[in-house]
């Protein structure tokens, strides 16, 4: 998929996928974000006043969103368990385990671990589920074409777009579509659930910030008004708060890049084929770029003073930046606005400071227990 592609293959796929994130298509996803956020709010209020670990709950929300927007499927992960939801969870867990455990580095040693049979079974469930949807949707589109019907209007999922060469400029095979859809799903739900978790924590930690965001939300989104793209665009202070949360708690705390030609940087020679780690978390906490970096100051993003554009890169930067960053920001604005519109967020322990696990995804070591009070 696009995450691991390189060279001409990456360039071709990136160009083909760009249309999937056109602003009109992104606008059509806002009702999905809101509908699933309504489910999330109901789940939180079922435990109103009681501490709940928001991270796993947020993961189920983002999984519901990703499945509906990537494949047009409503799996109701927040409401009921399923083999597919368990498979996705197991695949994510084991993939991260392999990255940080020497027994997982090699396929040969991995085969002898307890995780291998679980991984293989989960992979099979994932592939059968996804490929069956791809084949069904391709058959439906072919039937439409053979009847000389115009392609249906309305919301298009990523799968719909990949199946239509008139939108992508190329014909994807089922295997290519499977890879791209899975890339979108696995890259999009863990990262966004991390972002949601730390945004809500920041509100609980800083009640004055929470109150100001709440006042903006009730001014821009009156009771009963559906959220749309215009509402999202009008939430200016919320955007500053999200940016500051992504600075302090970047969902992806570091990136790696392979060097495709020899370069000399600050007098250090880096050879072609070397790997470079970009310490995003450390850079976002560097006082040279962000004075008083440990303070939560959303207003720092109001400043018009020039800042090195590569000093703040929660979605990476350059040609290989996150293709779905606008999707993610719209989703974040919608869901946290919906939660705060209906709930006040509190810390059970006002002095709580989360211990952080800086793996591929930034996570709280012991979970993130918050209290949600109905407004």
Q: At what angle do helices 54-71 and 23-46 cross, to 10 degrees?
A: 150
Max intra-chain CA distance, the chain: 65
What is the Cα–Cα distance from 108 to 123, expressed in whole angstroms?
Answer: 17
CB 213 within 8 A of CB 237: yes
What is the Cα–Cα distance from 60 to 63, expressed in whole angstroms?
Answer: 5
Burial grade of 321 (CB within 10 A; 0-12, 13-18, 19 or more): exposed
Q: At what angle do helices 83-100 and 174-205 cross, to 10 degrees?
A: 80
Q: At what angle do helices 115-146 and 174-205 cross, to 10 degrees?
A: 110
What angle is formed at CA 244 by the lines to CA 209 and CA 158, rounded to 5 degrees?
115
First to last CA, the chain: 44
CB 290 within 8 A of CB 284: yes
DSSP string, 187-255: HHHHHHHHHHHHHHHHHHH-HHHHHHHHHHHHHHS-TTPPP-HHHHHH-HHHHHHHHHHHHHS-SS--E
Burial grade of 195 (CB within 10 A; 0-12, 13-18, 19 or more): buried
Residue 231 marked in a binding site? no
What is the Cα–Cα distance from 230 to 249, expressed in whole angstroms?
Answer: 27
Binding site feature residues: 322
Binding site feature residues for heme: 322
């Amino acid at each position: 998929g696009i995450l691991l592609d390189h060279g001409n293959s990456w360039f071709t796929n990136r160009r083909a996928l760009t249309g999937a994130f056109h602003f009109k298509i992104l606008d059509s996803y806002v009702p999905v974000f809101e509908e699933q956020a309504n489910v999330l709010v109901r789940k939180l209020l079922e435990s109103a006043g009681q501490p709940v670990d928001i991270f796993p709950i947020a993961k189920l929300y983002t999984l519901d969103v990703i499945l509906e927007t990537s494949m047009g499927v409503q799996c109701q992960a927040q409401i009921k368990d399923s083999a597919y939801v368990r498979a996705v969870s197991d695949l994510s867990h084991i993939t991260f385990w392999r990255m940080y455990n020497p027994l997982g580095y090699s396929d040969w040693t991995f085969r002898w671990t307890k995780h291998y049979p679980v991984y293989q079974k989960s992979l099979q469930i994932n592939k059968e589920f996804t490929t069956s949807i791809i084949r069904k949707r391709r058959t439906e589109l072919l039937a439409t074409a053979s009847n000389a019907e115009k392609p249906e209007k309305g919301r298009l999922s990523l799968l719909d777009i990949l199946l239509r060469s008139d939108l992508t400029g190329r014909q994807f095979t089922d295997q290519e579509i499977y890879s791209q859809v899975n890339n979108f799903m696995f890259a999009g739900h863990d990262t966004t659930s991390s972002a949601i978790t730390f945004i809500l924590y920041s509100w609980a930690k800083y009640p004055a910030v929470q109150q100001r965001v709440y006042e903006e939300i009730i001014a821009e989104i009156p009771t009963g008004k559906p959220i749309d793209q215009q509402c999202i665009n009008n939430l200016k202070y919320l955007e500053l708060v999200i940016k500051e949360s992504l600075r302090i708690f970047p969902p992806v705390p570091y990136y790696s890049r392979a060097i495709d030609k020899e370069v000399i940087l600050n007098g250090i020679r880096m050879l072609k084929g070397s790997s470079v780690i970009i310490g995003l978390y450390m850079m976002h906490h560097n006082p040279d770029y962000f004075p008083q970096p440990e303070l939560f100051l959303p207003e720092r993003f109001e400043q018009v003073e020039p800042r090195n554009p590569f000093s703040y890169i929660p979605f990476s930067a350059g040609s290989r930046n996150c293709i779905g960053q606008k999707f993610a920001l719209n989703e974040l604005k919608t869901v946290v606005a919906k939660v705060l519109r209906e709930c006040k967020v509190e810390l059970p322990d006002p002095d709580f400071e989360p211990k952080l696990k800086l793996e591929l995804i930034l996570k709280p070591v012991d979970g993130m227990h918050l209290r949600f009070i109905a407004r």
